Structure 1
Amino acid sequence: MTLNPQKPRIFISADHGLAVVYFLQSDVVPTLLEAGAEVIVLSDDSLTEQLARRFGRPGLTFEGLRLAQARAYEQQHDREWQWWLGFLRRVGSSRRINTGATDSYIRQVMVESGNRRRLFLPLALLAVLALRHSRAARRALRRAQLRYTPGLYTDLFERYHPDLVVAATPGWRLDRYLLREAAARGIRTAAVVVGWDNPSSYSLPGAPVDWITCWSAIQKDELVLGSDWPPERVHIGGIPSYDGYFRRTWLIPREAYFRLHGLDPQRKLIAYACSFVSFSPNYQNVEALARLVASDALAEPAQLLVRLHPNHFWNVKLFRDEADKIRRLARELPHVHVVEPVPLGGELGHYSGEDMPEKASMMAHADVFTTVYSTMVVETAIHDRPIVSVCLDVPGGWNVPRKYSLPLSKIGNWPTHLRFRRSGAGKVALNERELAAALNHYLQNPQADHENRQRFIREEVTFTDGTAGRRTGEFLFSLLQRPAGGWE
């Protein structure tokens, strides 16, 4: 691409499949281009040509994000110090917000850490106590991170001279190295919140970031109260990734969708999206649902469609084995089917925009949608379908030494989970009796909790008219008129 020296240039870091959806499958990047910016998207090195073929247009360039080099620096340069900084950053938010999610991460680290790290855990827990009670301590931690700025992107900065660098997180992931280098050069920085639970699960910024845009007033409070963001630097823009749901852009007609998966059009569809795999097996939930549909024990003849989780495809034997058990269950029992998320490729994993039509149609055509407090409870509420969070415990969890397990009945007070419960947008089942009752209630009363679902999505995503991408793009473009700095 021939660069226009008169146009402002914006770097966008899309280091995750969800970030690709957020920026490229919404109106965010088109709005920036139409406003007169040139956009350079940095993503997985092996996918730049693929992304360029699919999304390329005048003014848009793709470059590699050098994730392998960033990971090598993380692993080889003061590895333990960087790890502890990351741990403290993740769990060090102020006690003024609900810390349920990060408290569980602390317990996970206590169980899964090797003997060497365990020696330092008492000191780390004292540091966490200080961070949660002291804004000065949190500021000191943010500053301490800056010594790890490797300069991996020097040639890109010198080639493009960007006016603004935008990332899918405020440095919670490897994007921290890009953001730190931008800040060191005096370049404006901004972040977006891609995930529903991100502000309450990942806490303090990993780099100096000037502005951030989030989904809702709820997330803004989490950022301001938990991570000391100045309120005037937090923008509420909604969630661009969901504009396609509101516009029904991705929807496959019901008949075609049922045909795609070999579903029976005469049977009600119960969908289950696996979730929370890192903390608990999902098989017990799937098995309970499968027994109910296979034995025709529900109020209506039904069938089950199970969506595996992206983590099922990690190189982790526990997760892969569970996926195989679910596939085997579908082969052995009638009316049980499995769908697998489609990978984008490279390091972006199975969190991908490649199957947005699949996700949208699964939710829209489900007579009852079930999961474990997944973000898909928000997405399904957009489609106004009944929702049940299935939280059946399994004794011992994963039952593997040094593998932390958390009973699903104990996670209801995590920030996003608690909001779902209080909203009345769906039901929670803690045992098979409650599960059957919840399914039967919604099968017989499909419009039940409609008003609660509508209120829930207004509170969680703010803009329900498909304009979040345009609003976010306009906000990011407006930052070109503002000075860099102000992180502290």
Structure 2
Amino acid sequence: MSRPNVPNFKTVFITCARGIIARNILATDALAKLLERDVRVVILAPEGRADALRQEYGGERVFIEPVPAPPESGKDRILWVLATNLLPTKTRRVQRLAKFERDCNRFDYWLSGFTAFLGRFRPVRTLFRAASMRLATAGSYGALFDRWKPDLLFATDVYAPEDVSLMRFARRRGVRVLGMVRSWDNVTSKTLLQYIPEDLVVNAERVRDEIIRYGDMPAERIAIVGIPHYDHYTNTVERTPREEFLRRLGLDPTKKTILFTPPADRYLQGDPVAPIILDALADLPAQVLVRMPVVGKSDFAGKAPPANAVFDAPANSADFVDVHLDRAADRHLADSLAASDLVITWASTMIIDAAVFNKPIILVGFDASPRPYGRSIRQYYDYEHQRHIIDTGGVRLVQKPEELRAWVRRYLTDPREDEAARQVIIREHCYRLDGRAGERLAERIATALDPR
């Protein structure tokens, strides 16, 4: 692809290593607002997804470039393992413990714990970043940078290997980097922040505080923008009328509706808790909309749904790189939340989604059968971001089917219970639901393009 000759237009590279970025950024007002300026956008996508993104988002000043996968030599894998173990968070401690219970590798458990201890000291973290900058294999991006001569790299997921490799290359080419923390759990559950960009955007104050503490990011270089795709969630004009939406799915609009999102097998294997949930709900005065995972599968042990349940299966992917959640699919998710009276889920982002719609939230905290901690759903509720959510009182973590039934009845009777605590979740994880998050993000990108 040749570089279009558009004089006086600045060029922004936007990474899209994870399919969900298309929903989070490209399908929001952020891209449209950015294009109101004298800007050319080049979306950097995995080779297997470039054509689909070109069809959906390509335009006069929006170009899609396929980007090769980042280098993965033995040296690079070692650096990534070190970056993971240097992150000294409670979540990583839980992950190490769960791994030890699964593989019983005492040496690995001890070594990773000692590495995490070293990661508590800022000079160690600084030394690692400097060493990895020199030692990591450089990505094959030279032709791409030569062709487009970007003025800014907007790295939409500073913890993704693809983005880390591109940020390092941009540094070598003298290209300014604006980074973004993609999700609320990333800072405490992924790796040490391996590259500190010139500027960073986050969705809320809590993530800002975490990236300062664990990522050594200077506070004055961080901007809080909110969550752009929620701009469309809160726009009531975009919602399908409840009666129309439920009838389309074969549900009765006159009945109370429970949205149930079961855990996927990529997190819990060989323990089909979903059928137990449906059995517990079978004789309650409500119908159940079961939304299947977009990544991975959910195990129903071959059991047919009860009479009061309808299964809704969005497009499914094996991993987060290939996940496809286009505008129509995201609108369907928002309509599902808006039409429901309460949400039953587990340790997932669906918690925040439900809070945005002010729906009562019940978290499944039990397994289908007794399991060791390292294979149990219990481990995920000890992650820092989940523990904080539970501590707000805006969700109810249930430990057995009888407790689940009791809270369903209670919330169906009084859906405003815990409403104030749900507002705390929104304030701490969404910043503002004012319909302007996309606009704020576009403004921050424009500022990074011209940082005078």
User: Do the aligned partners of 1:370 and 1:388 also contact (CA within 8 Å) in 2?
Assistant: yes
Aligned positions of 1:50-199 closer than 5 A: 50-67=52-69, 70=70, 73-74=71-72, 77-78=73-74, 81-94=75-88, 99-110=89-100, 122-132=110-120, 134-146=121-133, 147-199=135-187
**Letter paired with 1:348:** V
In the aligned structure 2, how far is the partner of 1:109 from the partner of 1:122? 12
The equivalent position to 2:290 in structure 1, one of 295, 306, 310, is 306
- For each residue in 1:87-118, what CA deviation from the matched residue of structure 2 results, as whole angstroms up to 9, or x when unmatched? 23234234xxxx23222222344456698xx7
Call closer, same or farther: CA 1:44–1:447 in 2, change over 3 Å: same
SS where residue 384 of structure 1 aligns? coil
The equivalent position to 1:360 in structure 2, one of 334, 354, 379, is 334
User: Do the aligned partners of 2:261 and 2:293 also contact (CA within 8 Å) in 1?
Assistant: yes
The equivalent position to 1:280 in structure 2, one of 262, 265, 268, is 268
Does residue 469 (structure 1) correspond to residue 443 (structure 2)? The answer is: no
Does residue 426 (structure 1) correspond to residue 368 (structure 2)? The answer is: no
Stretch of structure 1 that moved more, 375-384 or 197-206: 197-206
Displacement of 1:205 after TM fit?
2.1
Aligned residue pairs, count: 448
User: Do the aligned partners of 2:259 and 2:343 also contact (CA within 8 Å) in 1?
Assistant: yes
Q: Which runs of 5+ in 2 are unaligned?
A: none
Displacement of 1:454 after TM fit?
2.3
Q: Which runs of 5+ in 1 are unaligned?
A: 313-319, 484-488
User: Do the aligned partners of 1:384 and 1:453 also contact (CA within 8 Å) in 2?
Assistant: yes
Aligned partner of 1:316 in structure 2 is none
In the aligned structure 2, how far is the partner of 1:162 from the partner of 1:255? 48
The equivalent position to 1:390 in structure 2, one of 359, 364, 378, is 364
SS where residue 46 of structure 1 aligns? coil
SS where residue 161 of structure 2 aligns? coil
**Letter paired with 1:335:** N
**Normalized against structure 1, the TM-score is what?**
0.84
Call closer, same or farther: CA 1:324–1:413 in 2, change over 3 Å: closer
Displacement of 1:410 after TM fit?
4.5
Displacement of 1:27 after TM fit?
1.5
Call closer, same or farther: CA 1:422–1:276 in 2, change over 3 Å: farther
Call closer, same or farther: CA 1:113–1:86 in 2, change over 3 Å: farther
In the aligned structure 2, how far is the partner of 1:104 from the partner of 1:28? 36
User: Do the aligned partners of 1:310 and 1:349 also contact (CA within 8 Å) in 2?
Assistant: no
Aligned partner of 1:315 in structure 2 is none
SS where residue 435 of structure 1 aligns? helix
Call closer, same or farther: CA 1:22–1:414 in 2, change over 3 Å: same
Aligned partner of 1:12 in structure 2 is 14
User: Do the aligned partners of 2:17 and 2:44 also contact (CA within 8 Å) in 1?
Assistant: yes
Call closer, same or farther: CA 1:332–1:103 in 2, change over 3 Å: same
- For each residue in 1:110-138, what CA deviation from the matched residue of structure 2 results, as whole angstroms up to 9, or x when unmatched? 456698xx765543432221112x11111
**Letter paired with 1:378:** I
In the aligned structure 1, how far is the partner of 2:159 from the partner of 2:407? 40
CA RMSD between the two structures: 2.6
- For each residue in 1:270-306, what CA deviation from the matched residue of structure 2 results, as whole angstroms up to 9, or x when unmatched? 1111237444359654223311332x1x3xx222222
Displacement of 1:264 after TM fit?
2.7
User: Do the aligned partners of 1:307 and 1:339 also contact (CA within 8 Å) in 2?
Assistant: yes
Displacement of 1:344 after TM fit?
8.1
Aligned partner of 2:308 in structure 1 is 335
Stretch of structure 1 that moved more, 358-367 or 474-483: 474-483
**Letter paired with 1:53:** Q
In the aligned structure 2, how far is the partner of 1:141 from the partner of 1:129? 14
- For each residue in 1:404-427, what CA deviation from the matched residue of structure 2 results, as whole angstroms up to 9, or x when unmatched? 834334543422212222222221
Structure 1 or 2: larger helix share?
1
Displacement of 1:449 after TM fit?
2.1
The equivalent position to 1:379 in structure 2, one of 353, 364, 380, is 353
Aligned partner of 2:252 in structure 1 is 264
Call closer, same or farther: CA 1:173–1:410 in 2, change over 3 Å: same
In the aligned structure 2, how far is the partner of 1:346 from the partner of 1:274? 17
Displacement of 1:324 after TM fit?
5.5
**Letter paired with 2:402:** R
Call closer, same or farther: CA 1:345–1:128 in 2, change over 3 Å: closer
User: Do the aligned partners of 1:386 and 1:442 also contact (CA within 8 Å) in 2?
Assistant: yes
In the aligned structure 1, how far is the partner of 2:242 from the partner of 2:317? 25
The equivalent position to 1:47 in structure 2, one of 28, 46, 49, is 49
Displacement of 1:352 after TM fit?
2.2
Aligned partner of 1:219 in structure 2 is 207
In the aligned structure 1, how far is the partner of 2:316 from the partner of 2:439? 27
SS where residue 310 of structure 1 aligns? coil
User: Do the aligned partners of 1:171 and 1:177 also contact (CA within 8 Å) in 2?
Assistant: no
SS where residue 212 of structure 1 aligns? strand
Stretch of structure 1 that moved more, 261-270 or 189-198: 261-270
- For each residue in 1:57-106, what CA deviation from the matched residue of structure 2 results, as whole angstroms up to 9, or x when unmatched? 32111111223xx2xx31xx22xx32232223234234xxxx23222222
Q: Identity of aligned pairs, percent? A: 26
In the aligned structure 1, how far is the partner of 2:421 from the partner of 2:244? 30
- For each residue in 1:16-68, what CA deviation from the matched residue of structure 2 results, as whole angstroms up to 9, or x when unmatched? 1221112211122222221221110111323323322322332111111223x
In the aligned structure 1, how far is the partner of 2:331 from the partner of 2:299? 22
User: Do the aligned partners of 1:370 and 1:387 also contact (CA within 8 Å) in 2?
Assistant: yes
User: Do the aligned partners of 2:259 and 2:289 also contact (CA within 8 Å) in 1?
Assistant: yes
User: Do the aligned partners of 2:157 and 2:163 also contact (CA within 8 Å) in 1?
Assistant: yes
Aligned partner of 1:486 in structure 2 is none
SS where residue 60 of structure 2 aligns? coil
**Normalized against structure 2, the TM-score is what?**
0.91
